[in-house]
Structures are given as structure tokens and as C-alpha cells.
Structure 1
Amino acid sequence: MFVEAIEKVDQFTRPIHFILRYYTGSDIIPGTATLFFVNENGYAVTCRHVAKQILYANSIYENYIKFNGELRRFERDPGLNTQRKLLEAKYKINAETPIRILFNFVKCVSNHKSLTVHLHPSQDLAIIRFHDFESVQYQGFAHFLKDTRMVKQGKYLCRLGYPFPEFTNYRYNKENNDIEWIKEGRIHTPKFPIDGIVTRHIGDNNEITGIEMSTPGLRGQSGGPLFDTKGIIYGMQSSTRHLHLGFDQINREVTTEGHRKRVSNYPFLNVGQCVHVDVIKQFLREKNVSFYEADPAGSF
């Protein structure tokens, strides 16, 4: 059903690889996100929550460097632990705080000099522009649905993204006490499509801003396109909503593998939440970014 559409959309959809290190250890946590290009000039869209990680990566590390610099002054102080706690409070650092985030745009453009990021003021949407690159490494670009009245309940659509971080081209550098990208290891992460039907429209201030899908969006698919069987873009995967079904089973006796057990279960329905195509197109217009539209009845 979506074979040709996935092949088409895959040409301009790309992964963003992240590696994170938390304050309490040297373990490296890999992660992924997705973006897709909207024109031939290096403009792409992704989620606001993804773009914020990119924007704040440097400031997070700078905050840790300042904290570490102050802490070194007390290395031989008998009150080191007390000073550490005071500085942790000052710099808002705890066990769950990332102190280093590195990101890598995979097969987007070659040797770009800088980025411009525009965050949508209210929706989970951002525009990324690559500046001064040598060449593009994607083919084609998104064509957005022209007549958005076609976004109806029951419409069968697909999402594409990179939810499973299988890349291994990174390491912890003991000498520098830092994490880094390396040339060895696996550099790719496989794409993963997931289908579903439109269940509901999501509103904000009496305006339709989102599309709810019957299947969840997976971690790492954030920023990936929502499209039909022709590859026309209907929206962008943003998050997953967890709807309590009310079929709770509390301390119920069941028999499993020949043994009686008491179990409790609180089931939820996990549904996908996508940014509506109209929101994406309007934001692109506001930022004077050119984009393309298509009609499912026609061709492009």
C-alpha cells in the first residue's frame, strides 16, 4: 500500500543522531529524531522539542564547564562535599541533568557552516535552515496537501522516522572526560514506517492544530512526515498520547502456565499526535520559506 510512497518520502527524510551524557556517570545514551526537507535550499522542519535540544546543547555544556571550574577550587578542601551540593544547587545540576549533548545531521547537506532555527511560538514545530553548504545530500522535497479538507476521520496514512538508535560511531574519551563522535562503528540507523487511520482532529483555541492517529508515534519518529499512499504530506509526527481506557482490572485472579496469580492492569490506548499540515504551511509562510503543494488527484 505505501511501498512507493515510502520510497519517495525517504528521499528527503533524514535522521538526527544524538548522544547524551548525564551528570552522574560516563555512560553514553544514544537517541534519534527526524526531520524532512521542504525545498531544495536546505530548509527542513522538525519538532520544537527536538530543535530545542539542538539550540541548547552548547549552553548545557557551558553550564557544566562553569560548575566544574568552580568545583576544582575546593578539590583539597575538607568541605568538598558540602561545596559540591551548594554548586549543584547554584547551577541546577542533579543526577538526571544532561551535561553534554552532541548531535549529528545524517546525509542532510555537506559541510554546512551554520544553522538558523525558528521555533513555533505555540506548536511542536520548528524550521531548520542549513547555511553555506557545499551540496545537498537529499533528493526531492516535501509536497504538502493542498486541500486540507481531505484530512478526515478514517483516512489511512503512514509516518516515517528513525525510532531505533542502532548507530555506534561514538565513545567516551577518558583523557578529555568527554563524549565524542568517531569514524569507526555503525553510522546508520534504519528507517521505520508505521501506519494508522485518522481518529480525531486536535484543536487549540477553536483552531485545528493537530491530527490524532490510531497508532502511536515511536520515540525517534518525532519530526517525521505523515503522508498518504502518493507521498503527499498531511502533517508531522509530534508525540504520543496515552488515553486511559477505563478497563482496569485490580487484584484479579488469573491462571497462567498452570499457576494461579493475582494481577492488576490499567490499560491505556497509545495514539499518535501529529502537527497539522495547515500549521506547517502557515509557519513556513510567516518565515518566507518556499514550499510545494500537491493534490492527491493530480501528480507532482
Structure 2
Amino acid sequence: MFVDAIERVDLFTRPLHSIVRLYGHDGIIPGTATLFFVNEEACAITCKHVADLVAQADAIFQNYREFQGARRDVLREKNANHLISQLETKFKLSPDAIIRIRNNFIGCVDQFQRLNIYRHPTQDLALLRFEGYKRILYSSYATFLGDTSRIKPGRSLCRLGYPFPEFTNFRYNPSIDDIEWYVVGRASSPSFPIDGIVTRLTVDNRGLPGIEMSTPGLRGQSGGPLFDMNGLIFGMQSATSHLHLGFDIEDHEVLVNGRKRRVSNYPFLNVGRCVHVDVIKAFLREKGVKYYEG
């Protein structure tokens, strides 16, 4: 049903690859997110929570660099361990604190000097403007649904994104005590579609509409397009809600591999939450961004 639409949408949907290092660790955590382009002028949209991680990357690393400098100053003190502990508190560093994020926009533009980020005040939506590029690397752009009365419960729609970070072109460089992109390894991750039906149309406390889908949005699909079998954009994947079903089982005896076990189960239905196309178009108009309808 969605074969042709996926091929069409894939032309302007792109992955964001990220690598993360935590305080006190040399290990690298890879991650992905999704964005898609709305015109031929290197303007793309994604989730606000994705854009926030991009915007905070420099500040996070600067905080860690300042901590490193302060730590060097106290290393020769007799109570160095105590002083370092105080510095960790001051700079808000714990074993699960992020100290480094490196981002790589795949297949977007050949290069860019600036990335301007505009956040929606209430919705999980952000606009990215690449500036200082010479050539765009995507070959099409989104066409948004014009008649939004077509968004009704029961309509089959699809989402496309990059939920599985299978790229491996990164490493920890001990000579500089930092993580970095590397020429060796796999540089791509596959896109992944997931379909479902519209279950409910929602409205927030400001009256802005949203779309709920019968299937969850997968990690890494945040910022990916929601579209019909013609490739028209109905919205953008934002989050997953967990609806408690109430079919709970507590301390129930079952046979597992021929042996009796007592188990408990509290099932939830995972549904997707999407930003409505009307919200996206209104935001683009507010920012003076050209877009296309069909």
C-alpha cells in the first residue's frame, strides 16, 4: 500500500546521527533522530526535543572543558579527591551526565556555516534552517495535506524514520580524551517505516490539534513524516503514549518450560503521538518559510 509513498517521502527524509559520551566513561552511545525538508531552501522540521539536543551540544562540552580546567588546578592538593567531588557537584557531573554530544546531519547539505533553530512555543516542533551551504543533497521536499478534514479515525497512514542506529563510523580517541567521527566503519543507518490507523484526534489546552496513531513511534523516528499512500504529509511523529489497558495479572501461576512459575503482568497499549499538519503549516507561515500543499 505504501511502497510508492515511501520511495517518494524517502527523497526528503534524512537521519541525524549522534554519538554521546557520559561522564567517567570511554564508551560511546550512538543514537538517531529524523528530520524532513519542506522546500528547496534547506529548511527542515523535526521535534523540539531533538533540536534541543543539537542546540545544547556546544554548551554541554564547554561545561565539561571548564570542569577539566578546574580539576587540573586542584590535582596536586592534599585533599584533591574532596575538591574534585565539590567540582563535580558545581558542574553537575554524575556518572549518567552527558559530557559530549557530536551530531552529524546525513544527506542534507554539502556543508553549512550556521544552523538556525526555531522552536514552537508549545508543540514538540522545531524548524531548522541550514545557512552557508553550496549544494543541497536531498532531491525533493514535502507536500503537505491541504484539506485536513480528511484526517479522521480509521484512516491508514505511515511514518518513516531512522530508529535503529546501525552506523559505526566513530571512536574514542585516547590521545585527546574525546569521541569523534571516524573514516572507518559503516556511515549509514536504514530507514524504517511503520504503518497504523488514526485512532483519535486530540486537542491541547490551547486548542491546537494532534493526531494519535494505533502503533507507536519508534525511538529515532521522532521528527519523521506522517503520510498517506500518495506521500502527502499529514503530520510529524513526536512521541509515544502508554495507555494502561487494565488487563492486569498479579501473582498468577503459569507453566514456563514445563515448570510452574508465578508471574505478574501489567499490559499497556503503546500509541503514537503526532504533530498535526495544521500546526506545522501555521508555524512555517509564522516563520516566513515557503511550503507546498497538495
TM-score band, normalised by shorter chain: over 0.9
Match of 2:218 in 1: 218
Deviation of 1:280 after TM superposition, in Å, equals: 0.4
1:135 alignment partner, SS class: coil
Distance 1:209 1:179 in 2: 41
Distance 2:183 2:134 in 1: 21
Distance 1:113 1:208 in 2: 34
Match of 2:99 in 1: 99
Structure 1 stretch displaced more, 96-105 or 76-85: 76-85
Match of 1:165 in 2: 165
1:101 alignment partner, SS class: strand
Letter in 2 for 1:239: A
Deviation of 1:206 after TM superposition, in Å, equals: 5.3
Match of 1:90 in 2: 90
Deviation of 1:205 after TM superposition, in Å, equals: 1.9
Could you report, residue by residue, the CA deviation over 1:105-141 in whole angstroms, capped at 9, with x for unpaired residues?
0010111111111011111000001112111110110
Question: Does 2:72 align with 1:42?
Answer: no
Distance 2:72 2:209 in 1: 49
Q: How many residues align?
A: 294
Distance 1:112 1:67 in 2: 30
Distance 2:70 2:132 in 1: 38
Match of 2:232 in 1: 232
Distance 1:129 1:183 in 2: 27
1:220 alignment partner, SS class: coil
Distance 2:21 2:206 in 1: 41
Deviation of 1:24 after TM superposition, in Å, equals: 2.1
1:55 alignment partner, SS class: helix
Letter in 2 for 1:290: K
Residues 247-262 of structure 1 aligned to structure 2 (within 5 Å): 247-262=247-262
Letter in 2 for 1:222: S
Question: Does 2:205 align with 1:186?
Answer: no
Distance 1:206 1:14 in 2: 31
Distance 1:108 1:133 in 2: 10
Distance 2:62 2:78 in 1: 27
TM-score (norm 1): 0.97
TM-score (norm 2): 0.99
Deviation of 1:74 after TM superposition, in Å, equals: 1.2
Distance 1:2 1:260 in 2: 45
Structure 1 stretch displaced more, 69-78 or 27-36: 69-78
Could you report, residue by residue, the CA deviation over 1:51-85 in whole angstroms, capped at 9, with x for unpaired residues?
00110100000001001110111112221221122
Match of 2:196 in 1: 196
Letter in 2 for 1:31: G
Residues 1-300 of structure 1 aligned to structure 2 (within 5 Å): 1-205=1-205, 207-294=207-294
Deviation of 1:88 after TM superposition, in Å, equals: 1.3
Letter in 2 for 1:178: D
Contact 1:201 1:208 in 2 (8 A): no
The alignment yields a C-alpha RMSD, in angstroms, of 0.8
Unaligned runs of 5+ in 1: 295-300
Distance 1:171 1:209 in 2: 43
2:74 alignment partner, SS class: coil
Runs of 4+ displaced beyond 6 Å? none
Distance 2:223 2:202 in 1: 17
Distance 2:207 2:200 in 1: 13
Match of 1:297 in 2: none
Deviation of 1:268 after TM superposition, in Å, equals: 0.6
Deviation of 1:95 after TM superposition, in Å, equals: 1.3
Distance 1:266 1:100 in 2: 37
